Structure formats: C-alpha cells, structure tokens
Amino acid sequence: MHAVNPLDDPTADPFAIAALAAQRIAELTGVERHDIALTLGSGWGRAAELIGETTHTLAATEVPGFSKPALEGHVGTLRSVLLPNGKRALVIGARTHYYEDHGVRRVVHSVRTAAATGATTMILTNGAGGIKEHWTPGTPVLISDHINLTADSPLEGATFVDLTDLYSKRLRDLAHSVAPGLDEGVYCQFRGPHYETPAEVQMAKIIGGHIVGMSTALEAIAARQAGMEVLGMSLITNLAAGIQQSPLSHEEVIEAGRAAEPVISSLLAKIVAEL
C-alpha cells in the first residue's frame, strides 16, 4: 500500500498542509505550541535524549505530508521534548532529501510544519563532507552561509526573500560562547545522491565552499521564508572526494557519525539549553 501524500497534489497549498500537520501534532501530543525545532541529521540523533524529556513520540507517517524515510539510520519520528527551561522542542527525525525526487515541497514540509507549530528557532543539522583538510571525521562545524547548487528553491512564484544573515549571527555567537573553538564554514548543497567528483569538490572550494552536503540549504531558505531564526551545524563525517585520498564509503560515513554522536549531541544540547 502506498498512501497518497497531499503535497503531491500540485494544486494543494503547502502552507495549508503544514498548518494541518501542526494541528495534528497538537492533537496527538496535547502540546499547543512548540518554541524551537531541530532536524537531526546523521550523527546528531542522540541530542534528542540530551536536550530534555521526550513526552511524545509520533511516527512521521501519522502527520499529514510526511513520508517514510528513504534511508536507514534516519528515524522517521517527530518528538515533543520538554526542555529544562520549560520551553518545548519539536525534534524532527524524518528528513526528506531532495535526491528522493518527491519535489522541494516535500523536502521543506517539516520546516514549514515546525513554523506552523509556533517554532521561531530552527536548528538544522546534517552529516557532510569537509573541504578543509584539518577537519578530521567527527568534527562539528557551524554553517555560516550556503551556496545552493540544486538550481531549485522552495519559494514559488515571484516570492523574493532576503537571505542575508540566513544563518543567524546571534545564534552562531551563542554557539561559540558554549563551544569556544568551534569552526565555521560555507555549506554547498549538491543534489546527490552520488558524492562529488574531486573536480566538483575543487569547484566548490574555488567558489567559496567549505562543506559539501545534500540537505539543509533548501530547508534553511524555507525557514527564513517562514520568519524563523536558523542555526545550522554539520558533522564532518568524511573529507570530500579528492581531499581525502581514499574512496568514500557510506559505511565509513555512518561509522564516523556513530563515533562522534555522543560528543556532538551533548554539544548541541548545551547550545539548546542557552536558547
């Protein structure tokens, strides 16, 4: 059985579906509004346990517009977490990637839903490749800006949205205060799902990129459109192709994420505690 996703109807209003999804989350959790939202990418999952008390776990498929995760290691759940300071976090463990080919509306639905639940801060995390040689696998990096190489946008029609300071300086400063020495870099979103060629990595470097990945930029744009303040963090699980001499393997990437998970998750929890 393949359930129909309402976002696949081109005449549907994606914001109305996000509002429905938020309403469903409120019904299922009894939590009227969430203050912050976190999308936990590979390597970041444990942060869900460290930031506070999970009071409700929903299968993403219970909420309109969400779909089953395509990838093992990506948990298809939405959690409502009560933070020690009394705030509420919506933890999104169900990312739809652009390379899944369901269209950009499905990619950014979780972000729009988070905004519709009331969240004003969006924390986007991912596993990614590093272009700076001193970033050994397991290094967390703050995203300072992005280059969107998908040639796509979540904005539809003549919707002009300013992306200056998209990755909030205020939140980056806060992260630096919690974790002195945290590095920053410009995130390049490629379509994937193949990793880059070494020549493409050199291109990314020349145009100002430091991190290569397959998510986050499109999500960040949607978050800005929704008026949210964005914090982006990458876990460097591998050096990008050609920067590291050995071929990239998905298994190694998963393993690097697993090894770094306790450290980076507690780092993220410390940042969330300061929000």
Residues contacting ligand 8IG: total by CB under 6 A: 16
Peptide bond into 193 cis (omega under 30): yes
Nearest residue to 104 (alpha-carbon basis) of 231, 228, 215, 196: 215
DSSP 151: S
- Examine residue 128 and tell whether it contacts ligand 8IG (CB under 6 A): yes
Whether 252 is catalytic: no
- Restricted to residues 178-197, the positions that interact with ligand 8IG (CB under 6 A) are 190, 192, 195-196
Per-residue contact string for residues 210-239; x = within reach of ligand 8IG by CB under 6 A: --xxx----------------------xx-
Helices and strands in the chain: count of H runs, count of E runs: 7, 9
Burial letters 170-186, b for 16+ CB under 10 A, else e: ebbeebeeebeebbbbb
- Examine residue 127 and tell whether it contacts ligand 8IG (CB under 6 A): yes
Between 7 and 212, whose beta carbon lies closer to ligand 8IG? 212
- Restricted to residues 45-104, the positions that interact with ligand 8IG (CB under 6 A) are none
How far apart CA 219 and CA 249 sit, in angstroms, is 26
Q: How many residues does the chain have?
A: 275
Per-residue contact string for residues 242-271; x = within reach of ligand 8IG by CB under 6 A: ------x----x------------------
- Examine residue 125 and tell whether it contacts ligand 8IG (CB under 6 A): no
| Catalytic hit among 32, 53, 156, 196 | 196
CA atoms within 13 A on the CB side of 150: 26
- Restricted to residues 132-151, the positions that interact with ligand 8IG (CB under 6 A) are none
* CA 81 to chain CA centroid, nearest Å: 17
Q: Strand 229-239 to strand 88-92: parallel, antiparallel, or no bridges (unpaired)?
A: unpaired
Between 154 and 257, whose beta carbon lies closer to ligand 8IG? 257
Interacting residues toward ligand 8IG by CB under 6 A: 42, 127-129, 190, 192, 195-196, 212-214, 237-238, 240, 248, 253
